Each structure stands twice: as C-alpha cells, then as structure tokens.
Amino acid sequence: MAVPSITRSDQGLPAALADATRDETALRRFLHGLPGVDQVGAEQRAAGLATRSIKKASKLWAIDTAITMIDLTTLEGADTVGKVRSLCAKARRPDPERPDVPQVAAICVYPDLVPTAVDALRGTQINIASVATAFPSGRASLAVKVADTESAVEAGATEIDMVIDRGAFLSGRYGQVFDEIRAIKAACGETHLKVILETGELVTYDNVRRASWLALLAGGDFIKTSTGKVSPAATLPVTHVMLQAVRDWHTATGELRGVKPAGGIRNTKDAIRYLVAVHEVAGPQWLSPNLFRIGASSLLNDLLMQRRTQLEGHYSGPDYVTVD
C-alpha cells in the first residue's frame, strides 16, 4: 500500500493509530485486532433502546432536531432541474404555513445537478451534498473517482458522499480502499467527506466495525451506512456499531467525526429511535447536524405532519404538506 503524504488525520494521533496506516500489513493487523461485535448483544440493545418513549415537549424538540439533520435526497436517473429546484424550495421552507420550522441540513444530488442546487439555495446555510466516486457501485478507476469528486466540488458542492469499493474491501484489499479514501479526501480540499460503507453488502457487524475504522483512519469526516440502493440499508444495530466507532475515535484522538444512516428511515417514530441511539451510544454531543445526519427523501413529510399534530392537537393529513 502506497500511503500518501501525511494529512490532517495523521497528525497528533496516538502511536497505535498512526502505526496502523504505515503499510498494508499494519493496517490489516489493526483492523483484525479490533474487538469483535457481539451480534446478539448489539441487536438486543438496539431493540431495547427502540422502545424508549418520549413525552410531548421532548417529542417536539426531537422532531425539530431530526428536521435539522436531514439530507433531503433525490438520486434517481429521472431527476430533473425542476425536481431539484422544487426540493430546494422545500429545504428552505419545509412547511410554507409555519415559518418556525427549521431548515434541513443539506440537499443531496448527483454532480451534474449541483449548479442547480447552488443557485436555488443561494443565501442559505443549507449544505449541498453530492454523491461521487461512481455512485452507487464504486466500480471505477481512481482517476475517474477523483475527477468525479473534483467536478462536484468545482460546481459548488460543500459535501461529498463517496462510496467505497466493497469488492476490494471484502477481498481484503484494505490498502486499496484506504488509498482511495485518502485520494478523494485530498480532492475534496475543505469540502466535507462522507464515506459510504454500503453496510448491507458487508455481511457482518465485524466488517462494519472494520470499515468504519478504515474510513476514519483515512480521513473521512462522516461514515455513512448506505447508498439507499441496496437492501438492507440503514438499520439500528449497524448504526450502533458505527456510533461506537466515532465515540471510540473521539476517546482515542479527541477528534469528532460524524455518522449518517441513509435509506429506509421513513417516519417520525424511526427518526426518534435513531436520535435515542445517538444520545445513548455516542453521547449528546452528537445530537447536532454537524455530527449526525439522516439521508432521506420521504421522512420530512411525516415529520412535518407529526409536528402539526403536536402543536394543533389533531392529526394533519399529507394534503397539508408539499409533495416531493
């Protein structure tokens, strides 16, 4: 493994972590030396936390917090300029009748639609995320992946969601995956990098833990569960494992890194379960869009309907919110 020159993530790391990036052998030794994940324990804890109830005042706070964490996403082959503009309008003003509803964290689109989002979101603090690196397969040359990233950044993307080569990871070519993340991070410059693990294809929780640490060692600002194109996408137990990784990274290094579950989170009840997991597994410091995001397309509508219910005392149907 040809490790690129030292970057931000190497400086000041504990010796054990710095040594892990020295070469392929050291990286493999480190990743396979991580504690194994107790599958039964992880799933039982996730199920237990999912039963937590939240009272009315806290539920309204949770709904608004979840809204601020949404990466409002459209990643379809049929996406158009008009659809992206409509989604950006919704991001700016989620509920047109209620200006107190917070804005979402970001819009997530394909690279060719970044200029449309930049124009539509001008003057706001909403981030513009773009998928890159041969999304969703991750099967392309490094040169193509870097060019894809640079194109999105030059167009105005403030966040890049890259996808790892799962074939390389599952074949044990950890150095290749590490080098690609490093190269994409370099291409991002100051743009934040989210590393998509596609956990549904990683098979085991141990692999999810290894991939999480690999992405963190390589400089990813966020680790993300899924492209949303593979089933299963985000799950609570997998998200628990990833939250443990960023918590332990912070304990070891003092650096804060984020987590983004994406795909399959469609209603308020699910969103609140993820917020409970963040609080209990990583800690309350992660209850911020700077450190936790939810990749979603349909979730926002349900959050808005449930918010109206909390404030008005009766259920508001989908006719009261804009259609994506």
Per residue in 251-303, pLDDT tens? 999 999 999 999 999 999 999 999 999 999 999 999 999 999 999 989 999 99
Q: How far does the chain reach from its first CA to its final CA, in angstroms?
A: 45
Reported as half-sphere exposure (CB side, CA atoms, 13 A), residue 298 has a value of 8
User: pLDDT: is 6 or 98 the higher one?
Assistant: 98
Digit-coded pLDDT (tens) for 203-234: 999 999 999 999 999 999 999 999 999 999 99
CA separation for the pair 88, 237 (Å, rounded): 32
Contact 294, 303 (CB under 8 A): no
Digit-coded pLDDT (tens) for 126-170: 999 999 999 999 999 999 999 999 999 999 999 999 999 999 999
CA separation for the pair 24, 44 (Å, rounded): 35
Proportion of the chain above pLDDT 90, given as a percent: 86
CA separation for the pair 136, 172 (Å, rounded): 20
Digit-coded pLDDT (tens) for 9-58: 455 678 889 889 999 999 999 999 999 999 999 999 999 999 987 877 79
pLDDT reported for residue 14: 84
Digit-coded pLDDT (tens) for 169-211: 999 999 999 999 999 999 999 999 999 999 999 999 999 999 9
Active-site amino acid positions: 161, 224, 260
pLDDT reported for residue 176: 96
Q: What is the mean pLDDT of the chain?
A: 92
Smallest CA-to-CA distance from 265 within 91, 95, 66 is with 66
Instruction: Tell me the backbone φ, ψ of residue 13, rounded to 5 degrees.
Output: -75, 150
pLDDT reported for residue 9: 43
Reduced to 3 states, what is the DSSP secondary structure of residue 171?
coil
Q: Output the CA angle 42-46-49, nearest 5 degrees.
A: 140
**Domains (range + CATH), the chain:** 15-313 (3.20.20.70)
CA separation for the pair 39, 237 (Å, rounded): 9
CA separation for the pair 13, 27 (Å, rounded): 15
Question: Which residues lie below 8 Å from residue 255, measured CB to CB, with a gap of 6+?
Answer: 9, 249
Q: What is the CA radius of gyration of the chain?
A: 19
Q: Which residue has the tokens 């917070």?
A: 102
Smallest CA-to-CA distance from 92 within 82, 106, 79 is with 106
pLDDT reported for residue 324: 52
Q: Which residue has the tokens 């917020």?
A: 275
